[in-house]
Amino acid sequence: MPHAEQKILNDPTNLVIIRLLERLADSKSSCLNNRFWLSAFYEELLENKQRDKIHFDFLSIGILVITRIRQYFANKRFPLFWNSNTDMLKYSLKVSLFRRKLAQL
């Protein structure tokens, strides 16, 4: 994914979405690191075949990524491209905290 990751990071709109999502989860102090967001974002772009035909604003993409992340947590799975070296117990506690934050949206 390094090439795709670089492509995502080169688009200012994508960076805005990633930063907003990081702030929402307060990822500086959690296990939901930048790679988690990039992985969820990249999966969303891969599965959305119409992305090339339709121009999404950053809010729409952000909502799609948040929806995808909610599905990850509901199904207790991780983004396809996320390589986790984190303590899963600690991660689970952070996920439940983040799930409560998402429920308030």
pLDDT given at position 88: 44
Looking at residue 2, what is its pLDDT?
Answer: 55
What are the phi and psi torsion angles at 16 (to 5°)?
Answer: -60, -45
26-29 long-range CB contacts below 8 Å, 24 or more apart?
Answer: none
d(CA 14, CA 18): 6
Distance in angstroms (rounded) separating the CA atoms of residues 36 and 32 = 6
Total-model pTM: 0.44
The pLDDT tens digits of the residues spanning 44-93 come to 777 765 555 555 566 677 777 777 777 776 776 666 555 555 444 455 55
pLDDT tens, 12-34? Answer: 666 666 666 666 665 444 545 55
Task: Please tell me the predicted confidence (pLDDT) of residue 7.
Answer: 66
Which residue type occupies 100?
R
* Domain ranges, ordered by start, for the chain: 2-103
What is the mean pLDDT of the segment spanning 90-105?
61
Burial class (CB in 10 A: 0-12, 13-18, 19+), 102: middle
